[in-house]
Amino acid sequence: MAALRSAPAPLVRTKFRVGDQVRIIAGRDKGKEGRILSIDSSKGRVVVEGLNMVKKAVRPTQQNQKGGLSDVEAPLNLSNVMVVCKRCGISRIGFTVNGDQKTRVCRKCGEEL
Ligand SMILES: [Zn+2]
């Protein structure tokens, strides 16, 4: 496979994973923590459960016959969230390599993440 990729979308490399506990370090919900629901690596954004809520107008659907305004999570920029280490608090994510096994660890204390 020597084909060149056309239209190289600049993917933001992220060490985050869905389900990670993160803290918001900037903006309206600064200091709050939640779990990552989804990651958009092409835009460098994450959606964190229960945080950065915005009102969104929704059309009536089968489930929601009235429609109207609903609270939804707005995406946050990756640079505004940090992972929360169980042992030492907010930290950066690093890796240790053991043979061909790559393990995510806390860069401060070495705790596996
Ligand atoms: Zn740690």
CATH number of domain containing 57: 2.30.30.30
CA of 90 to the centre of ligand 1 (A): 8
Evaluated on CA atoms 89, 92, 93, 96, the torsion sign reads negative
Q: How many domains does the chain have?
A: 1
Cα–Cα distance between 109 and 28 in angstroms, integer? 29
Which residues lie at CB < 5 A from ion ligand 1? 85, 87-88, 91, 106, 108-109, 111
In a domain, 34, yes or no: yes
CA of 92 to the centre of ligand 1 (A): 8
3-state secondary structure of 11: coil
| pLDDT one-digit tens code per residue, 54-99 | 999 988 888 878 888 989 999 999 999 999 999 999 999 999 998 9
| pLDDT one-digit tens code per residue, 11-55 | 777 899 999 999 999 999 999 999 999 999 889 999 999 999 999
Q: How many C-beta atoms surround the C-beta of residue 81 within 10 A?
A: 26
Q: Comparing C-alpha atoms, which of 105, 63, 62, 64 is closest to residue 86?
A: 105
In a domain, 32, yes or no: yes
pTM for this prediction? 0.80
Q: Containing domain of residue 46, as a range?
A: 21-86
